[in-house]
Amino acid sequence: MRHLIDDSLPLTVKLLHHLASLALSDRPLLAHRAAFLARDLVTSHLKAEPELACSVIARHVDREPEMLSSHRGQVAYRDACNRAAHQEEKARAVMDLHRAVLEGDVKRTAAVVMELLGRAVPDGASLSTVRDLLAAEDSEPLCKFLASTIRTEWRNANAHEDFRWDPVNSTLLLSGQPTDLEQVLDAAIRARAVCHGFEHGVALAYAQNAPLIIWGAEEANYVGRDLSILQAAGESRFPVLDIRRNGSLVRLDVPDISVETLREACRALLRAALADPSIERWELRQTSPGRPPLCVDRTGTHAGLQVAEPLWELADPLPFAVLPLLANAMTNAGEPAETAVSTVLCLAAAHVVGERDRLLPALAQDDSAAKDELISTAKLISDGAKAAAQLLEGPARRKLLAFAEVLAGDCHRLRSARAFELAHEFVPADRVLRRHAPARLPWVTALDDSAG
């Protein structure tokens, strides 16, 4: 896919996503050709009339909510097609898919292409009119490519419910004419690949001509913000299967969370909260039935970000920022305050003890750098525990604050100690770990197996 972009262009997460999507297309050669043609078309107009080209694409982006709705519908129709137990069921799913692709993707893509060429597709134009307008642009290969995806006789039969599956002859009848069902399905998939390729080609053109792009002052619509959230999760290396909104709540469908992936889940939540600060509540819904969702509200993300923000450029903030997130998530899961504080104490103490043991060989050699690293880590754990304590009430808050203060006191006292002396310090963390292990994480089942 490198031949689609300049060698000097950095491979950002967004650009990699477009290239990977092209490679994974149901019809990769068709998608690739559409992307190539779209890239060249948009690039030429960006160089000739950047303001006009950018305004056309911006109006197209404004329709992302409709595009997403159409995409979800197409996925549902494709799933229904694959699950169909009888050909009659499959035939209706295929016709639904064909209608959604042509009336949605093809019409929208054609309107953008024609507008870039200085033409217009009338509002409410029929597919026959769209095809004729595209075919008239015989010098533009992308128009010919799009026109080739439109079979108006199939669409008309669909629109008038003039189709059925003939079980006697095992064929699809469109306006009484026998038609190969697989051919209609292939046409829908082909048209979808062409339109998706166009979208990727526009993105490639924008990436390669960044200095020419004129960005408007409009705020991103919710689909754009969803994409930013998904990109934040991707940068955190945490997979997300789907994203849904309900007002100020965002639900992310994710693979089952394990002890090993819990930190990445929290990292994704923090970066997602930065990507869309308007969200009041985040919900990670796991794949397996019976596993409770991990829910963090704005209070939790705000506390976690306060701990994390000074550290993003210096170190991984998650061992420390995860503590207030988990305190908030435990509360939202309905766990008693005593259970929540026990979990936070266990994880905080485990990190201090783990870091001390990891640095033990260097400390034994009286390595001052190892001493500074351990004290710095313990101090950050203390800060995270204090932030988590503010999200709890009563005895649970006091218990967590007491541990944080003891930890901070040890850090202050040990700054004047020799490095080798720290090998046997932070004893309160050892005691807390023995008392509160193992941590209770209500989102993780088979905890002992995962930990092992």
Across all residues in the chain, what is the average pLDDT?
Answer: 91
State residue 452's pLDDT score. 40
- Kindly state the percentage of the chain with pLDDT values over 70: 97
- What's the full length of the chain, in residues? 452
Neighbours of 401 (CB within 10 A): 16
pLDDT band at 16 (very low <50, low <70, confident <90, very high): confident
- From residue 116, alpha-carbon distances to 277, 360, 431 in Å are 35, 65, 69
CA–CA distance, 230 with 269 (Å, rounded to integer)? 10
Burial level of 198, CB count in 10 A (0-12/13-18/19+)?
Answer: buried
CA–CA distance, 45 with 53 (Å, rounded to integer)? 6
Are 236 and 321 a contacting pair, CB within 8 Å? no
Q: For the segment 305-334, what is each residue's pLDDT rounded down to a tens digit?
A: 999 988 777 777 888 899 999 999 999 999
Query: In this structure, which long-range contacts are made by residues 66-70, counting pairs with CB atoms below 8 Å and at least 24 apart in sequence?
Result: 66/104, 66/108, 67/104, 67/105, 67/108, 67/223, 68/223, 68/226, 70/100, 70/104, 70/105
DSSP 8-class letter at 172: E
DSSP 8-class letter at 106: I
pLDDT band at 445 (very low <50, low <70, confident <90, very high): low
Q: Which has the closest alpha carbon to 191: 16, 25, 14?
A: 25
Q: For the segment 150-172, what is each residue's pLDDT rounded down to a tens digit?
A: 998 998 898 889 999 999 999 99
| Mean pLDDT value of segment 342-354 | 95
As beta bridge partners, residue 270 has: none
With a cut of 80, say whether residue 5 has pLDDT above it. Answer: no
Helices vs. strands in the chain: H and E counts, helices first? 20, 7
pLDDT band at 358 (very low <50, low <70, confident <90, very high): very high
State residue 224's pLDDT score. 87
Three-state secondary structure call for residue 353: helix
State residue 316's pLDDT score. 79
Q: Which has the closest alpha carbon to 49: 140, 108, 117?
A: 117
State residue 219's pLDDT score. 72
* Whole-structure pTM value: 0.80
Higher pLDDT, 216 or 198: 198
State residue 417's pLDDT score. 92
As beta bridge partners, residue 254 has: 286
Q: Which has the closest alpha carbon to 46: 36, 37, 34, 56?
A: 56
| Mean pLDDT value of segment 58-82 | 93
Are 94 and 102 a contacting pair, CB within 8 Å? no
As beta bridge partners, residue 294 has: 284
DSSP 8-class letter at 10: -
State residue 123's pLDDT score. 87
With a cut of 60, say whether residue 26 has pLDDT above it. Answer: yes
pLDDT band at 447 (very low <50, low <70, confident <90, very high): very low
With a cut of 80, say whether residue 104 has pLDDT above it. Answer: yes
Are 42 and 112 a contacting pair, CB within 8 Å? no
CA–CA distance, 384 with 260 (Å, rounded to integer)? 20
As beta bridge partners, residue 244 has: 251
With a cut of 70, say whether residue 2 has pLDDT above it. Answer: no
Are 288 and 258 a contacting pair, CB within 8 Å? no
CA–CA distance, 114 with 130 (Å, rounded to integer)? 10
State residue 446's pLDDT score. 43
State residue 434's pLDDT score. 94
